[in-house]
Amino acid sequence: MSWAKELDELRAREQLAEQMGGTDKVARQHGRGKMDARARLAALVDPGSFREIGKIAGKGSYDDDGNIASVLPAPFLFGKALINGRPVVATADDFTIRGGAADAGISRKMVQAEKMAHELRLPIIRMIDGTGGGGSVKTLEMIGATYIPAVPGWSDVVKNLDTVPVVALALGPTAGLGAARAIASHYSVMVKGLSQIFAAGPAVVDGLGDAYKGSDDHSQAKEDLGGSAIHTRNGVVDDEVGSEAEAFARARHFLSFMPEYAGQPARRTASIDPVDRREEDLLSLVPRDPKQVYSMRRCLEMVFDSGTVFEIGRMWGRTCITALARLDGWPVMVLASDPSYLGGSWDAKTSEKVERFVKLADLFRLPIVHLVDNPGFMIGREAEMAGTIRYGVQAMNAIYKASVPLASVVLRRAYGIAGSAMSNAETYQYRYCWPSGDWGSLPIAGGLEVAYKSDLEAADDPAAELEAIRDRLAKVTSPFRSAERFNVEDIIDPRDTRPLLCEFAQLAWRRLGSEA
């Protein structure tokens, strides 16, 4: 006596699940330029590696004889897969089933996916499309009552943020709980023109009397309310890409730098880039005119392993570049001033961004390399209204609390409290300075007239006296004077930056490896 009959039923149920919301709904999804949930999972993970869990879960309909007639699958798929040969939990919302609303299936699947990630210490990728597990207005009539809102399993989401790398890809209109799940991540991506994130969509906002009332262009309303042009500039989401395929590629790339869980060392990769590579262009990178800008991104390309710089959050907090990169194959987190934007001064958003990425580096035990050209915190009324000093101090606190090795390289300016936030001054200063270094409690150029007011007023030729004062102070502010007093550890040839940082990476990972 075999169980062939039951296995036949299992296969039939699996085939019903593979139909998702039905031919028409799937075609509508594709017609919007969007992949369906199953195609997304196949495109994200290593070929053939996805093993689905709870495939036949859903709401079944039966004929008079009690035989299965149809199934409305759960609008959430998950399972174990491989990315870059390493195990992960991969999930995808199915928008073809009532927009992914949880009441259309079994929300417990979503909870189990999150539990699987932190209990087995596996990275989790959420592909979010729709309410992402939230309810719908239609739910109230179905259950015959309303209810006080709660989010089952949110504690597991929180645990994952402290346990494993979490990646969120917003791949369609994402509202309510879906929006919350996108934000509760270590790395997030939106697709330009395809993804929107909002606490509530235009239809709800319209009902509350907003300006969308009477609008027939719902697609534009969604973009205006929560498109990628908004949320990748305000720091809600890290990056904007042009296609779903690019979103999948960036998710895979991000995870390649990460360990599989907090406490496991991240992996070194083979590098063919010589450790002793010395770029001649670094010698002239920083202009002699202090008012001229230069490309810090070009510096990153010349210093880190060729082709490994993976910038995150390019469109927000723009005065600091945040990236993952490699030095002789070792993964590191990079902070780098961008003098081409606001002169490199830290504003509130930049400070928020620095704090976030320092905490990310500390959680997953990645050494930090900080390339410094910071004239201080942004000043002026707008900066004060934005609370710049509060966010700036929080960024500084994160740097002081970080326990991973940090190396700083001062390329040019380091002024004030923001300049002092380059590293924890209470620890060993693994620091190098270029001959172009210029530092102090405040920029001298901005305070000469005040500091030497009486001298200038008494001078027969105030302009000539001011120039003479500048010449005297230029000698005093030479980086070599600081080195004499050991206020600066080492002044280096800029061309030696890569070899010295590769040495730092080796020593840093020697220490971090011993922690495992």
CATH number of the domain where residue 324 is located? 3.90.226.10
* Residue 359 exposed, middle or buried by CB count within 10 Å (0-12, 13-18, 19+): middle
Single out the residue in 257, 292, 309 at which a domain terminates: 257
CA–CA distance, 361 with 331 (Å, rounded to integer): 10
Residue type, 210: D
Residues 332 and 446 in one domain: yes
Instruction: Give yes or no for a contact between 124 and 114, defined as CB atoms under 8 angstroms apart.
Output: yes
pLDDT in tens, the chain (516 residues): 799 988 988 998 888 888 888 888 988 999 888 999 999 999 999 999 999 999 988 888 888 888 887 888 889 999 999 999 999 999 999 988 866 555 544 678 999 999 999 999 999 999 999 865 555 566 666 667 766 767 888 999 999 999 999 999 999 999 888 999 999 999 999 999 999 998 765 555 555 455 555 455 566 777 878 888 899 999 999 999 999 999 999 999 999 999 999 999 999 999 999 999 999 999 999 999 888 999 999 999 999 999 999 999 999 999 999 999 999 999 999 999 999 999 888 999 999 999 999 999 999 999 999 999 998 888 889 888 988 899 999 999 999 999 999 999 999 988 888 888 888 889 999 999 999 988 765 555 555 555 666 766 677 777 776 677 666 666 666 777 776 777 778 899 999 999 999 999 999 999 998 776
Start-to-end CA span in the chain (Å): 53
Residues 242 and 379 in one domain: no
Alpha helices by DSSP H, listed for 68-136, are: 108-119
CB atoms within 10 A of CB 206: 17
Residues 227 and 314 in one domain: no
Give domain status of residue 275, yes or no: no
State the pLDDT at residue 136.
59
Single out the residue in 199, 226, 257 at which a domain terminates: 257
Question: Which whole-number Å values give the CA distances from 34 to 31, 40, 176, in the listed order?
Answer: 7, 9, 20
State the pLDDT at residue 442.
56
3-state DSSP call for residue 416? Answer: helix
Give domain status of residue 59, yes or no: yes
CA–CA distance, 71 with 93 (Å, rounded to integer): 17
Question: Which whole-number Å values give the CA distances from 210 to 13, 174, 204, 213, 346, in the listed order?
Answer: 45, 19, 9, 6, 35
Among residues 452, 430, 426, 439, which one has the least CA distance to residue 480? 439
Residues 298 and 251 in one domain: no
State the pLDDT at residue 107.
77
State the pLDDT at residue 134.
56
CA–CA distance, 380 with 349 (Å, rounded to integer): 15
Residues 235 and 142 in one domain: yes
User: Tokens 């039939």 appear where?
Assistant: 12
Structural element, H or E, at residue 357: helix 348-363
Residues 252 and 345 in one domain: no
Structural element, H or E, at residue 312: strand 310-312
* Residue 8 exposed, middle or buried by CB count within 10 Å (0-12, 13-18, 19+): exposed
Give domain status of residue 454, yes or no: yes
Residue 504: domain span: 280-515
3-state DSSP call for residue 286? Answer: coil
State the pLDDT at residue 284.
95
Give domain status of residue 267, yes or no: no
Give domain status of residue 390, yes or no: yes
Give domain status of residue 459, yes or no: yes
Residues 33 and 75 in one domain: yes
Among residues 350, 180, 343, 332, which one has the least CA distance to residue 267? 332
3-state DSSP call for residue 297? Answer: helix
State the pLDDT at residue 419.
81
Residues 221 and 320 in one domain: no
Give domain status of residue 107, yes or no: yes
Q: What is the CA radius of gyration of the chain?
A: 27
Among residues 490, 184, 513, 123, which one has the least CA distance to residue 331? 513
Instruction: Give yes or no for a contact between 128 and 170, defined as CB atoms under 8 angstroms apart.
Output: yes
CA–CA distance, 24 with 34 (Å, rounded to integer): 14
Residues 304 and 435 in one domain: yes
Token code pair at residue 168:
């969120």
Residues 339 and 236 in one domain: no
State the pLDDT at residue 166.
98
Residues 394 and 467 in one domain: yes
CA–CA distance, 416 with 441 (Å, rounded to integer): 5
Give domain status of residue 264, yes or no: no
Token code pair at residue 306:
């060729």
Count of domains forming the chain? 2
Q: Residue 281 has what DSSP assignment?
A: G
Q: Which residues pair with 59 in a beta bridge?
A: 72
State the pLDDT at residue 445.
59
State the pLDDT at residue 224.
78
8 φ, ψ (degrees, to nearest 5):
-65, -40
Instruction: Give yes or no for a contact between 196 and 227, defined as CB atoms under 8 angstroms apart.
Output: yes
Q: Residue 43 has what DSSP assignment?
A: H
User: Tokens 């002026």 appear where?
Assistant: 380
Residues 368 and 508 in one domain: yes
